[in-house]
Amino acid sequence: MSSDALDRRPQGATAATVAAVGKVSEAFEAIEEVRGRLYGLHRLVGTADLALGEAVEMLRRAGHDELADTIDREMVGRNVLPGMWTFQIVEAFDAGYYADFQRIEKLVRDELMGGQQHVYEAEMKERERTKGRHGHEASPADLPVEDLR
């Protein structure tokens, strides 16, 4: 394949357009990370809530019923945001802001890059890599057979 595998720029696309589309993709990649962190929040809050429920039972077994009742009443199963558990936060984000951002990023790529992803990065790789040097191949197809084992 060689560097042809990195040639993704549609005919007529300027360097300025490639850079601008790359910036839109960079922004969306940040939102992808935000989405992952929201799912992390969802899992961690759920884990904490379940652990707190276990702690309530342990406090009861240890004879601390009043304190256990307070924790159970005030914290276990509580909304994280008004009216919402974390699954609702994730669902609202996915259906709203995330879906819209994903649609816009794809629209920009489709209209300006013929749907190609990572045009900016592919061109950067071609500029930055040391051609002919091991570890700097353009694609897996350029690797020596022994490296594929």
Least-confidence region, from 9-18, 50-59, 135-144: 135-144
User: What mean pLDDT is predicted for residues 1-6?
Assistant: 60
Residue 55 has a pLDDT of 98
Report whether pLDDT(90) > 60. Answer: yes
Residue 98 has a pLDDT of 98
User: What mean pLDDT is predicted for residues 81-97?
Assistant: 98
Percent of the chain scoring above 70 in pLDDT: 95
Please report which confidence band the pLDDT of residue 141 belongs to, taking 50, 70 and 90 as the band edges: confident
| Tens of pLDDT, residues 31-51 | 999 999 999 999 999 999 999
State the sign of the Cα–Cα–Cα–Cα dihedral 138, 141, 145, 148: positive
| CA angle 7–27–22, rounded 5-degree value | 20
8 CB neighbour count, 10 Å cutoff: 19
CA neighbor of 17 nearest in space, from 116, 98, 138: 116
pLDDT, averaged across the chain: 94
Kindly list the domain boundaries of the chain, sorted by start residue: 2-132
